Amino acid sequence: MTPIPPGVPRVPSSLPPVPIERPRAAGMLGGLLLFGVGFLLAAVVAVAGHGGGPLYLTAVGLGFLGIGLVAFFRNRGTVPLPEGPVWGRPVLAGLARAVDLPAVPVTAVVYGLIAIGFLGNMLPILRGQ
């Protein structure tokens, strides 16, 4: 790392990062939640023994629509996102802060929806159905 030459003003490290644009953050969070809800609904349908049917495919389609929304809003805006994947804690915390929500519950809801959806979709496979 190159040292800062004398006379050049230093930016205090205690300044908060520039917040993500509110519409962009809302779109990305909405997409993540739609993804989680879509796959949760698909898991419920799969556990009920109707996996592969029209309702299951519609729920999976909602999940994919959510991912599409995340991709759409990810590249819209002028403020760079925090480093890491969109489901990572720093990015989720930045998105939550931009829409005035607490970061920990937002992260817990997103992780919970995705985990339950994943496990529910895997359960019929593990049971041999």
Q: Is residue 7 in some structural domain? A: no
Token reading at 115: 């985990």
Q: What pLDDT score does 123 carry?
A: 86
| Cβ contact 98:30 at 8 Å | no
Number of domains present in the structure of the chain: 1
Q: What pLDDT score does 126 carry?
A: 83
pLDDT band at 14 (very low <50, low <70, confident <90, very high): very low
Q: Roughly what angle, to the nearest 10 degrees, separates helices 103-127 and 89-98? A: 130
- Integer Cα distance of 109 and 126 in angstroms: 25
Is the pLDDT confidence value at 9 over 80? no
Nearest to 121 by CA among 35, 58, 56: 56
Q: Which amino acid is at 108?
A: A
Q: Is residue 71 in some structural domain? A: yes
Q: Is residue 44 in some structural domain? A: yes
- Integer Cα distance of 32 and 56 in angstroms: 19
Q: Is residue 6 in some structural domain? A: no
- Residue 95: which domain range? 22-127
- Integer Cα distance of 63 and 126 in angstroms: 22
| 85, burial (CB in 10 Å: exposed 0-12, middle 13-18, buried 19+) | exposed
